[in-house]
Amino acid sequence: MKHIIIGTAGHIDHGKTTLIRALTGRNTDRLAEEQKRGISIELGFTYFDLPSGQRAGIIDVPGHEKFIKNMLAGVIGIDIVLLVVAADEGIMPQTVEHLAILDILGIKKGIVVLTKTDLVDEEWSELIEEDVRKAIKGTFIENSPIIKVSSTKKTGIDELINTIETYSKDLEEKNENDMPRLPIDRVFTISGFGTVVTGTLLAGKLETGDEVQIYPGDLKARIRTLQVHDENAPVAYGGQRVAINLAGVKKEDIHRGSVVAPVKSMMDTSLMDVKIKLIKSIDKTINNRTRLHLYIGTEEVLCRVVLLDRDELLPGEETFAQLRLEENIVAKRGDRFILRYYSPMFTIGGGVILEPNASKKKRFDENVIEELEVKESGSTTDILEKIILADELSSIKDISVKTSMLVENIERDVKVLVEEGKVLLFNATKESYPIHINQYRKLIDKTLKEIGSYHERFPLRPGISKEEIRSKVLNKVKPRIADMIIQSFIDAEEIMQEGDMLRLKDFVPYYTPEKQVLKNNIISKLKINEYISPKKEEFSNNSDEVDEVISALISSGEIVRINDEIFLLKSSFDKALEKLKKHILANGSITIGEYRDLLQTNRKVGLGLLEYFDGLKITKRDGEKRTLI
């Protein structure tokens, strides 16, 4: 079912509130000051039923320049706008600014309503209509009807209602399966109920009992009750004006501009990639790093505009830029925004968000511009591909939070990218990590470089440990995913694995000239004193190098490590074992002392060898003696 939001726009005192009263029978000026002064200060909300029975929400926005921020908070989520022009005054400054704002915000449908026609004659009315046609030329309502009404005498009201009905038939239904978001435009309390917020639900649906979060920040609440058009409702859908009674939060903790959305579905940001355009009719330019007011959703913050491909933006021009905000907000790709000059305050332009959670980008970088061009006009899969390529190995869940896209929609597009060979997907129990093929290739290259560097530093070692590669190349992903990525390198034969060590596929340990000298020295000393294991200091003052050469000799089988202090040449070890077996076969057993004397060594070496043979299950201890197993 379609849900329609109608909004008004136009200069102060052109009859917006009176027109709504004629359409609905209700006065949207609820404040005493509004009723006393006869002008709208705050947003007004009501509804009426179309001839088809379709209920339409309607928003009355202030027309005075002083309350433009209230007007901007009201137009978010509007489907059809009624641009109100008084027949006795015609196009006025605020009419022009409101029209420019609506155009920038991407409103697609609008109707021009010429009010107060009972106060002028037909000739004057036609002149005003002609002026209006000139003013709306080139805008989204250029070809829209101009309907003449008198709100007090109710003339033209039926024609307006029927035109709204016709327009509503062409409206697209809001996607109920999209991420629900409600920018807050009012916060108040009701005795006995607590905190209430109102706004236009932009997409998705909210249900009574849902746990939600108030963004920016991590304030959480529960939806106690929902109201749509002053009636309790179990569910609110995208496109509806909604009042939410929140449990667990105080009124002072929330403000206009905050956003209600599911818990952990959005991410605070202070840096966004955007496409901006200046209004053609203004006489101001903006330079790089100009300070401006940003209006997005129902929020207003100060920002600086970083122009990415120029130093100055002229009226009517558009360009890619980054907005660096002075306060955190939340936003979604595709959201529209308005920019107003810092001082004096007036609207100068606006645009669309291309990346809500951006990283700092270099100016005048062709790759940056190409990336943003794809994000501006590419398909959802093209855009997701750029996000995956730019991200540092984020999970699908993390991407969902950064972009405010539903996980299932990301999964659908990732599947397409995998089928096209552009992305690889690594699945763990609870999380999936898409990696762009270009990024994957860079990980392989980085891994090969790390292993190659390790081989250069330690040419005698068989390879580098998996743990070290994880910490140097894949430290930003969980160990299980990192292991899966490393295993994919092994499966593709990019690297080789031996035990827990990784090496390049053509690598063979080798001795440098210096270490070859050390090797020869170790072997020579071991030959001279076969069973008196020398101390490491006898070979070199560099104990690390000695350990490395000994480890290499052990790996090659040239020496045998008995324990931390004893190592023998393999030939000496074999002779020691042979003498042991002959003695036991001839005598039935052997003691430590007998074995020591047999090898002409000391007790420590004799005991060490016997314990080593015990461990190999060659001998077993029987009191003070050893026998063969």
The secondary structure of 313-331, three-state, reads ECCCCEEEEEEEEEEEECC
pLDDT of residue 546: 87
pLDDT tens-place string over residues 290-302: 999 999 988 999 9
Same domain, yes or no, for 227 and 327? no
Say yes or no to pLDDT of 39 above 60: no
In a domain, 356, yes or no: yes
Q: What's the burial of 29, exposed, middle or buried (CB within 10 Å: 0-12/13-18/19+)?
A: buried
Hey, what are 227's tokens? Answer: 């109201």
Same structural domain for residues 17 and 127? yes
- What value does the mean pLDDT take over residues 49-68? 73
Query: Which stretch, 226-230, 405-409, 422-426, has highest mean pLDDT?
Result: 422-426
Instruction: Confirm whether pTM is higher than 0.85.
Output: no
Q: Which of 81, 127, 88 is nearest to 106 (CA)?
A: 81
Quick one: pLDDT at residue 73?
A: 60
Check whether 192 has a pLDDT greater than 90.
no
Q: Determine the average pLDDT of the residues in 347-365.
A: 93
Residue finishing a domain among 242, 262, 282: 262
Last residue of one domain, picked from the residues 169, 191, 217: 169
Residues 493 and 587 grouped into a single domain: no
Question: Which CATH number characterizes residue 103's domain?
Answer: 3.40.50.300
Q: Residue 244: pLDDT above 50?
A: yes
Q: State whether 240 and 123 are in the same domain.
A: no
pLDDT value for 34: 35
Q: What beta strand segments (E) does 263-409 contain?
A: 269-278, 286-287, 290-296, 299-307, 312-313, 318-329, 336-341, 347-355
pLDDT confidence band for 544 (50 / 70 / 90) = confident
Does 517 fall in a domain? no
If asked whether residues 387 and 329 sit together in one domain, one would say: no
Domain with 328, as residue range(s), is 269-366
User: How far is it, in rounded angstroms, from Cα 336 to Cα 354?
Assistant: 10
> pLDDT tens digit string along 598-624?
999 999 999 999 999 999 999 999 888
Average pLDDT over residues 439-453: 96
Quote the percentage of the chain above a pLDDT of 70. 95
Can you give the pLDDT at residue 72?
A: 63
pLDDT band at residue 62, thresholds of 50, 70 and 90? low
176 part of a folded domain? no
What DSSP state is assigned to residue 155? B
**What CATH number is given to the structural domain containing 381?**
1.10.10.10
Q: Are residues 85 and 138 in the same domain?
A: yes
Token representation of residue 245: 């009674």
For residue 249, give the 3-state DSSP assignment.
coil
Q: Evaluate whether residue 516 is within a structural domain.
A: no
In the predicted model, is pLDDT for residue 70 greater than 80?
Answer: no
CA distances from 393 to 258, 267, 287, 387, 389 (A): 30, 17, 35, 10, 9
The number of distinct structural domains making up the chain is: 5
Q: So what's the pLDDT on residue 37?
A: 37
Q: Which helix (H) or strand (E) holds 190?
A: strand 182-190
Task: Pick the range with the lowest mean pLDDT from 92-106, 460-474, 495-509.
Answer: 92-106
| pLDDT above 80: residue 75 | no
Backbone phi, then psi, for 627, in 5-degree steps?
-125, 165
Say whether both 13 and 162 belong to one domain. yes
Q: What percent of the chain has pLDDT over 90?
A: 65
In a domain, 39, yes or no: yes
In the structure, what pLDDT confidence band is assigned to residue 36 with cuts at 50, 70 and 90? very low
Report if residue 520 sits inside a domain: no
Tell me if 490 is assigned to some domain. Answer: yes
**Any alpha helices (H) in 16-92, and if so which ranges?**
16-24, 32-37, 68-75
**pLDDT per residue over 253-312, tens digit each?**
999 999 999 999 999 999 999 999 999 888 899 999 999 999 998 899 999 999 999 999
Is pLDDT at 486 greater than 90 in this prediction? yes
CA 474/CA 407 separation, integer angstroms:
24
So what's the pLDDT on residue 28?
58
Q: What is the mean pLDDT of residues 516-539?
A: 87
CATH number at residue 301: 2.40.30.10
Residue 74 pLDDT grade (very low, low, confident, very high; cuts 50, 70, 90): low
Residue 559: strand pairing partners:
569
Residue whose token pair is 């001279």: 528
- Whether 211 and 276 map to the same domain: the answer is no
Same domain membership, residue 308 and residue 415: no
* 67 pLDDT more than 60: no
Do 256 and 286 share a domain, yes or no? no
Looking at residue 38, what is its pLDDT?
39
Please give the helix or strand (H or E) that residue 514 lies within, else none: helix 513-528
8 Å CB contact between 613 and 576: no
Q: Average pLDDT of 208-224?
A: 96
Comparison of pLDDT for 31 and 352, the residue scoring more: 352
Average pLDDT over every residue of 347-361: 93
Torsion of CA 463, 467, 468, 470, to 10 degrees: 120
Determine, yes or no, domain membership for 521. Answer: no
Residues 11 and 147 in one domain: yes
**pLDDT bucket at 76, cuts 50 / 70 / 90:** confident
- Give the pLDDT mean for 338-358: 90
Give the pLDDT score at 42.
45
pLDDT at residue number 59:
83
Asked if residue 138 and residue 257 are part of one domain, the reply reads no
- Examine the fold and report which residue of 310, 332, 366 is the final residue of a domain before the chain moves on: 366
